[in-house]
Amino acid sequence: MKTIAVLNGPNLDRLGKREPEIYGSKTLDDIASELRANFPKASFTFFQSNHEGMLVDKLSELAEADCDGVIFNPAAYSHTSIALRDAISSCGLPVIEVHISNIHARERFRHHSHTGSVSKGVIAGLGTEGYLLAARSLLDLR
């Protein structure tokens, strides 16, 4: 059984309540339920933090754990965090970056992702379906 970690960055604890016109009405719990229902032969662990250092620490922990890949929505940190970029680069795990909104159709400062440049792939603009696509991709890796 493959183990996939799902990491979520700042403000995603408010998913379903915060700007539903951009991010939709699903919560992180809804996403977790969908992942488990769609991929019953995989094991998922979930972590959310509004604090950059805690996300860096979690990537370091996962590098030493029995983890096969990471779905990561770094949220606004993707545009600002060299520390998260370095943590992804050094963890040795395949990471698929997910953004619920299309970051390229939003404010100019959101168009660049430091973390995306060291991720195996980036999925943006497909809503929470992006998490399912990322899981499928990680589970299909050989």
DSSP string covering the chain, please?
--EEEEEE-TTGGGTTTS-HHHH-S--HHHHHHHHHHH-TTSEEEEEE-S-HHHHHHHHHHHHTSS--EEEEE-GGGGGT-HHHHHHHHHH-S-EEEEESS-GGGS-GGGS--TTGGGSSEEEESSTTHHHHHHHHHHHH--
Per-residue tokens: 47: 């972590």
Catalytic residue among 51, 79, 99, 112: 99
Catalytic residue among 23, 77, 114, 131: 23
131 carries an active-site annotation: no
99 carries an active-site annotation: yes
Active centre residues (catalytic) = 23, 99
